[in-house]
A and B are shown apart, each in its own frame.
Chain A
Amino acid sequence: MKKLLITLGLGLFLSTVTASAATAGTVNGMKITVKEANKALKALTKGKMTWAKLPKDGRKQLIQMMAPSKLVAAAARKQLTKKEKEAALAGFWMQKKMSKIKISDKVAKNAYNKMTKAAKKAKSKAKIPPFKKAKNSLKMQLAQEKVVSKLMKKAKIKIK
């Protein structure tokens, strides 16, 4: 009895999962689910149209419209290396975090002064741009440093 209940439960679970995964079409064998089609339609028609109401021509047009995105996603998954993927994700996360950090002009100016002093001390021949020009990139750099240092505080390093 217990086994039967488990089997029934599993069957029910699988049927609900597959319900949302009903196929609206395929692109090179990749499924486009009805759910995905409805999501796209919602965005395109501002919620006025659904897959069920869509005429034949409309369905074909929609799947053709959705095809490039599916193909790009598949190509990206296949062709991008692990390193590239990691770099892209890290870059995205970093940008997201950096956008939340605000560096004031005063802080940027202080950092600029420090850098120019250090450059003079090192007798660097490189041309130092004026603060106005360097301000934005300097702010970005400072924000990135903040994000990284905050992140590294969470690192528990054990050297063996």
Chain B
Amino acid sequence: MKKILCTLGLASALLVSSVSADALKNSLNNILNQKDSSGMVNLNGVSVGTKPKRKVVKQVRKVRKSRPGSAIIGRYNDGKVVRKKEADKYIKKATKGKIKDLDLLPKKQRLMVLKDLKRMYEIKHFKSRPAKAVVATVNGHAIHKKEADIYLKSVTGGKVKDFDRLDKKQRLVLIQDLARPIMLREAVESNVTEVEKEAIFKQMWLEKQRATIEVSNDEMLALYEAKKEKALAANPQAKIPPYISLGDNLKNEVLEQKMMGNLMKDVNITVNYETNETVQTNDSNESSVKLDKIPDTKETE
């Protein structure tokens, strides 16, 4: 019986100790997992006395094999080849000797160098077309280089004089400008009648004449007095407007009188008294003979 009791006591003691060990383990785990809020520096990861490990970064460089100087790297616009040595020379000069090999540059920069070389080549070997060359057509109408050059010079204030020096976009803009009067001319030709044209020219000529003729106050006053006299002669009680109120009307009248005077000066007028509608079937020779037959009807103003 004593033995049984000892065995039971041992077994229970063992059970209690195993349970209490689990609780300790758990509480330790909790401490580790809990974040430190004490403000103390966490030195968990630091191992004092050992050398720090260095991260070794392997930089993988793609080493391009440099091409020989005679290698063809492109073509100019005229088809001539661009050799690497030309580009190398250009880079060396541009970088003041810091870079001497085109193949050391990334693709983007290599393309830029090629573009620059092409541009320089074009400038060096630039050949302008002759003045008579047709540089564009607008609805079939030719625009000659001379015309484009003159316009370009006027537009740029003399800074650029050669149409061929412009790039494609600039050329188009310039030709569009030059196309406008051509298109207008076309529109006029197809929409304005000969009668309208004559009327327009007459009006313009008269306007030009008006601008050249001067009218003095004396002339205007003389006309006013003459008109006043005439009006009063016809009706002594007529109301005559004051001189000032007539202003431009008088000026215009004097202008017209002067213009008519200039126009009709030394004019030679003939009247064909014998022409009438029944004779219209006559041919032109006959009618001119009739004109010649009536010298007495010749009126000279």
B196, chain A: closest CB distance, angstroms: 7
Residues 64-99 of chain A: 1 if any B CB is under 8 Å from the residue's CB, otherwise 0?
100111011101110110001110111011101000
Contacts of A43 in B (CB 8 A): none
Among the stretches B59-67, B72-80, B97-105, B187-195, the one at the interface with A is B187-195
Closest to A27 in B: B269
A26, chain B: closest CB distance, angstroms: 5
Known contacts A24-B275, A27-B269, A92-B196; is A151 also within 8 Å of B280 by CB?
Answer: no
- Contact call A159/B171, Cβ cutoff below 8 A: yes
Q: What count of chain A residues pass the 8 Å CB interface test?
A: 55
Residues 129-166 of chain B: 1 if any A CB is under 8 Å from the residue's CB, otherwise 0?
00001111111100000000000000000000000000
Residue B94, interface by CB 8 Å:
no
- Contact call B198/A159, Cβ cutoff below 8 A: no
CB within 8 A of A68: which of B168, B260, B272?
B260
CB within 8 A of B280: which of A20, A69, A90, A92?
A20
Residue A129, interface by CB 8 Å:
no
Closest to A64 in B: B269
B152, chain A: closest CB distance, angstroms: 14
- Contact call A86/B181, Cβ cutoff below 8 A: yes
Q: How far is the CA of A158 from the CA of B139 in the complex (A)?
A: 8
- Contact call B268/A19, Cβ cutoff below 8 A: no
Q: How far is the CA of A73 from the CA of B195 in the complex (A)?
A: 11
Residue A117, interface by CB 8 Å:
no
Name 7 extra pairs, CB < 8 A, besides A29-B268, A151-B187, A156-B139: A26-B268, A51-B275, A63-B269, A67-B269, A69-B202, A79-B208, A88-B201
Interface residues of A in 123-160 (CB under 8 A from B): 148, 151-152, 154-160
Closest to A94 in B: B184
B291, chain A: closest CB distance, angstroms: 6
Tell me whether chain B's interface is mostly helix, strand or loop, or mixed.
helix
B129, chain A: closest CB distance, angstroms: 9
- Contact call A75/B287, Cβ cutoff below 8 A: no
Residue A52, interface by CB 8 Å:
yes
- Contact call A26/B270, Cβ cutoff below 8 A: yes
- Contact call B291/A26, Cβ cutoff below 8 A: yes
- Contact call A159/B272, Cβ cutoff below 8 A: no
Residue B230, interface by CB 8 Å:
no
Q: How far is the CA of A56 from the CA of B299 in the complex (A)?
A: 13
Residue B180, interface by CB 8 Å:
yes
Residue A119, interface by CB 8 Å:
no
Contacts of B188 in A (CB 8 A): 86, 89-90, 92-93
- Contact call A23/B200, Cβ cutoff below 8 A: no
Those 9 A-B pairs whose CB atoms lie nearest each other, nearest first: A76-B205, A52-B276, A76-B201, A52-B277, A18-B284, A25-B271, A90-B184, A89-B188, A19-B280
Residue A113, interface by CB 8 Å:
no
Residue B34, interface by CB 8 Å:
no
CB within 8 A of A14: which of B171, B260, B283?
B283
Contacts of A151 in B (CB 8 A): 180, 183-184, 187
- Contact call B267/A160, Cβ cutoff below 8 A: no
Contacts of B191 in A (CB 8 A): 93, 96
Q: How far is the CA of A26 from the CA of B292 in the complex (A)?
A: 12
Closest to B204 in A: A88
Q: How far is the CA of A24 from the CA of B270 in the complex (A)?
A: 9
Residue B263, interface by CB 8 Å:
yes
Residue A28, interface by CB 8 Å:
yes
Contacts of A148 in B (CB 8 A): 180
